[in-house]
């Protein structure tokens, strides 16, 4: 029923936000440790992980759109009685059938995108596959977040933007008097235009 779907969506939302926080608190730091033998500059390490997070969300959202189109076409061929819309039925179906998502393909796409990123080391210097575990978890999380109504997404920051205290925390090594963001450590989690979880930046 619509009421059951709303309750399930609210429960999923809480679990996914908790998962986002855990990745930030634990798996992000694990990825930093994996990169340090290859990259001695901590700023570059943090930039790599930030780009991995943003790209994982971008790629997973594109994959979700393709899966949703296919699921809606299939469900439209077998309509069922009830007041649930085709859109809601598709989202619920995808949330219950996570095997529809080819996460390995997304990991490959994220790494390819990172290899071409102008602010990251070239592939000859570091193979981003060393953080494939982090990318996999971010892709899975981002994909699942698209089944929510409304979906959750990350904010994409720009170096040099004005520091926004409602969206970000300053990293411990920041200049706390600086007004502008030098670079981003972790993206903020958004629901429409509202900040659900603050991200982290370095100001200098």
Task: Write the pLDDT tens digit of every residue in 91-119.
Answer: 989 999 989 999 999 999 999 999 999 98
Task: Give yes or no for a contact between 169 and 200, defined as CB atoms under 8 angstroms apart.
Answer: yes
Task: Give the tokens for residue 152.
Answer: 């959750």
Do 182 and 87 sit in the same domain of this protein?
no
Strands 199-203 and 168-170: parallel
Do 122 and 188 sit in the same domain of this protein?
no
Do 100 and 199 sit in the same domain of this protein?
no
- Measure the CA–CA gap between 92 and 95, rounded to whole angstroms: 5
Do 95 and 188 sit in the same domain of this protein?
no
For 130, list phi and psi in degrees, rounded to 5. -65, -20
pLDDT in tens, 146-172: 999 999 999 999 999 999 999 999 999
pLDDT in tens, 130-139: 999 999 999 9
Give the dihedral sign, CA 117/122/123/127.
negative
How many domains does the chain contain in total?
A: 2
| pTM, entire model | 0.93
Do 168 and 114 sit in the same domain of this protein?
no
Range of the domain at 11: 2-151
Do 91 and 143 sit in the same domain of this protein?
yes
Task: Give yes or no for a contact between 180 and 163, defined as CB atoms under 8 angstroms apart.
Answer: yes
Do 7 and 50 sit in the same domain of this protein?
yes
Do 106 and 171 sit in the same domain of this protein?
no
Do 105 and 147 sit in the same domain of this protein?
yes
Do 25 and 112 sit in the same domain of this protein?
yes
Q: Which contacts qualify for 129-133: CB closer than 8 Å, 24 or more apart? A: 130/34, 130/35, 130/38, 131/31, 131/34, 131/35, 131/48, 131/49, 131/52, 132/107, 133/27, 133/30, 133/31
Do 44 and 125 sit in the same domain of this protein?
yes
* pLDDT of the residue at 187: 98
């Amino acid at each position: 029923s619509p009421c059951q779907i709303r309750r399930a969506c609210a429960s999923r939302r809480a679990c996914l936000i908790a998962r986002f926080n855990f990745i930030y608190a634990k798996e992000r730091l694990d990825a930093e440790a994996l990169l340090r033998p290859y990259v001695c500059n901590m700023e570059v390490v943090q930039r790599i992980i930030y780009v991995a997070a943003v790209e994982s969300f971008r790629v997973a959202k594109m994959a979700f759109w393709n899966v949703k189109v296919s699921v809606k076409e299939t469900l439209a061929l077998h309509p069922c009685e009830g007041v649930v819309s085709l859109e809601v039925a598709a989202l619920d179906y995808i949330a219950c059938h996570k095997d529809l998502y080819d996460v390995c393909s997304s990991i490959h796409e994220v790494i390819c995108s990172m290899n071409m990123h102008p602010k990251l080391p070239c592939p000859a210097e570091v193979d981003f596959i060393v953080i494939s575990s982090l990318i996999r978890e971010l892709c899975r999380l981002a994909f699942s977040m698209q089944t929510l109504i409304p979906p959750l997404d990350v904010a994409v920051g720009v170096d040099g933007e004005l520091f926004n205290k409602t969206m970000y925390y300053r990293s411990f090594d920041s200049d706390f008097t600086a007004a502008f963001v030098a670079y981003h450590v972790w993206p903020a989690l958004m629901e429409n235009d509202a900040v659900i979880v603050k991200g982290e930046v370095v100001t200098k």
